[in-house]
Amino acid sequence: MMRILLFMLLAGVLQAQSFNTFPFRTQKPPLHGKHWMALTGKPLATTAGAMTFAKGGNAVDAACAMLAATCTMWDVLSWGGETQALIYNPKTKKVIAINALGVAPTGATAQFYKDKGYKYPPEYGPLAAVTPGTPGGLMTILAEYGKLSLKEVLAPALQMASEGYPIEAQTANSIERNKREIKKWPYSTKVFLPHEGESREAPEAGEIFVQKDLAATLQNLIDTEQKALKEGKSRKQAIYAANERFYKGDIAAEIARGTQEQGGLITKEDLAKWEVKIEEPMSTNYKGYEVYKLQQWTQGPAFLQSLNILENYDLKSMGYNSTKYIHTLYQAMNLAFADRDFYYGDPYFEPAEPMAGLLSKEYAKERMKLIKDDKNDTKAGPGDPYPFEGKINPFTQYLNAWPGMGDASKKSLEEFQEEFTAGTTSVVTADEEGWVVSMTPSGGWVPACIAGTTGVGLSQRMQSFVLDPAENPFNVVEPGKRPRVTLTPSMALKDGKPVLAFAKQAGDEQDQLLLQFFLNVVEFGMTVQEAAEAPSFKTLQMYSSFGDHEKIPGGLTLNTSTSEWTATELRNMGYRIDYQPRTSGPINSVFIDWKHGSFWGGSSNHGEDYGLGW
């Protein structure tokens, strides 16, 4: 018996050693470039970035062209969605944060939705829509930091909309699956279902997909810019003239009219009042890396909170994806995401979120005391950061009731995962001038409600609000307010220089997998391609930001390559385990190799994400 036990133990150790050996052979090669790097969620959109670099554009111009192309291709986002970005400006040597998230429209109150029988704002349709943010985000980013004209940057997207492009199977089949929902909205039916009445009403894979209404909207923006240039306006002024037409002119009027016709709330005044915010990012230092995220209107600070906890551990000595490593990261993320669920919201509305306390190193050390070495804590909840700001928590009555909000999911695991990982794409670029861009645009995914004859698909981001302050007193819906979103581009600097830009799609899982990607590079020395493909794990214990806002206590998704030895140990610690063959992405990333004066690009080995470099 003793020999058998020793043999099993040795087999487990050898299996773990084999699994944790790096570097490993990746399924996709790393990308290399000297002059520029461009990665995004669609191969054709990456080509749009390459075309823009070829015109003399910088990384900002290329990112905007790629954003426009992905929106036109409905890569789980469209033109009525939201854009957020981190941009490294080599002239100022600073990281800039872009907040181009739309806001709740006039009349969108908690009571309004409660009166309609909703527990949360709906997942689909005009009542799920915040005001469009992506057009304003794109034009602001381009005007402030790009080199090219709007006409040059929108050229690939305009050609795709007006002449059509061969639609890929993923999007075409998504349209077909969602056609019942699409048929509720006449303008969506016109765009998405060119074969209405036939057995397959969506386009076929490879069919040339034309969007005349959207092409007209894009052409109107370009015409406005070109007219302003002829009148002697500067490049920046001309781009902002196009932006004004979208938000205050005839395009805005049609968006408001078309939305209200279909039962939505967005008004011309909502569009006219909305503006892009250029912000200071949030950051923390992790072992010499200055890591940047957007503010608390995203989930990004939870990544920083996790790093603050984890820097107190020797992660490398645990072994990559060992039982102890997975458990430690899982517990740290549970604590950070519980804080996200309770404290994050729109910083432009009262009450003010206690971000200084949440991001303090002292608070992280206090939180890590809650981590048990031998079991999962299914009741891990938000902490109290206010004492770390010298204040008293005004919401202790809600805090003490946690986790009384929400329920463990009653959905099938497949249904839960689909909701949990909804939407989004990523855009990452860098150039030899020193510009670096990381974007996670989203919103307006299929099945989108299209706003009148603009061709613009409306966002579905209202569902990320809550209606009950007991769930999150900072994220209750109000007109003019931004919901707390999952979208979260990332950037890291070392010795004052940008070294890593990374982003990924897929809802609530974004920051937990980006965290593992970052640690793969920093702790385990992987290349960005190895880090993008390396098997990760997912916690399902945090509340979903979509649909019914549910969670699976103890839920842990492992990669199928995980040893049974590790899985058994984790089950004995209270985890509910399921498996996926690919768990790492899709992640897109650029590493700036200062030693050799070059770029490395990494893109996960599943999904349609793709990159090019030169």
Does a structural domain hold residue 182?
Answer: no
Whether pLDDT at 550 is above 60? yes
The pLDDT value given to residue 8: 37
Token pair listed for 233 = 């306006």
Residue, of 206 and 410, whose pLDDT is higher = 206
Q: For 97-133, write each residue's pLDDT tens digit.
A: 999 999 999 999 999 999 999 999 999 999 999 999 9
Q: Residue 332 belongs to a domain with what CATH number?
A: 1.10.246.130
Does a structural domain hold residue 177?
Answer: no
Share of the chain above pLDDT 90, in %: 78
pLDDT band at 420 (very low <50, low <70, confident <90, very high): low
Neighbours of 572 (CB within 10 A): 11
Whether pLDDT at 10 is above 90? no
Whether pLDDT at 336 is above 70? yes
Whether pLDDT at 382 is above 60? yes
Q: How far is CA 427 from CA 300, 472, 545, 613, in A?
A: 16, 30, 22, 14
Q: For 243-290, write each residue's pLDDT tens digit.
A: 999 999 999 999 999 999 999 999 999 999 999 999 999 999 999 999
The pTM score is 0.93
What is the average pLDDT value for the chain, to the nearest integer?
91
pLDDT band at 205 (very low <50, low <70, confident <90, very high): very high
* Nearest CA-CA partner of 460 in 188, 176, 125: 125
Does a structural domain hold residue 411?
Answer: yes
Instruction: Report how far residue 70's alpha carbon sits from residue 409's, in angstroms, rounded to the nearest whole number.
Output: 32
Q: For 211-255, write each residue's pLDDT tens digit.
A: 999 999 999 999 999 999 999 999 999 999 999 999 999 999 999
pLDDT band at 421 (very low <50, low <70, confident <90, very high): low
Hey, what's the torsion of the CAs at 274, 278, 284, 290, to 10 degrees? 140
The pLDDT value given to residue 468: 94
Q: For 44-96, write each residue's pLDDT tens digit.
A: 999 999 999 999 999 999 999 999 999 999 878 899 999 999 999 999 999 99
* Nearest CA-CA partner of 101 in 61, 64, 130: 130
SS3 468: coil
* Nearest CA-CA partner of 400 in 425, 424, 371, 379: 379
Does a structural domain hold residue 367?
Answer: yes
Does a structural domain hold residue 74?
Answer: no
Tell me the β-bridge partners of 95. 88
Handedness of CA 524, 89, 602, 427 (dihedral sign): positive
- Quick one: average pLDDT of 338-351? 96
Its domain, for residue 488, covers 279-425+482-495+502-590
Can you point out the beta strands (E) in 495-586?
A: 497-504, 538-539, 555-559, 576-580
Does a structural domain hold residue 295?
Answer: yes
- Quick one: average pLDDT of 179-183? 95
Instruction: Report how far residue 502's alpha carbon sits from residue 529's, in angstroms, rounded to the nearest whole number.
Output: 11
* Nearest CA-CA partner of 608 in 9, 27, 46: 46
User: Domain total for the chain?
Assistant: 1
The pLDDT value given to residue 409: 55
* Nearest CA-CA partner of 451 in 275, 244, 191, 269: 191
pLDDT band at 548 (very low <50, low <70, confident <90, very high): confident
The pLDDT value given to residue 27: 80
Residue 103 class from Cβ within 10 Å (0-12 exposed, 13-18 middle, 19+ buried)? buried
pLDDT band at 316 (very low <50, low <70, confident <90, very high): very high
Residues in CB range of 524: below 8 A, 6 or more apart: 22, 316, 320
Does a structural domain hold residue 340?
Answer: yes
Does a structural domain hold residue 146?
Answer: no
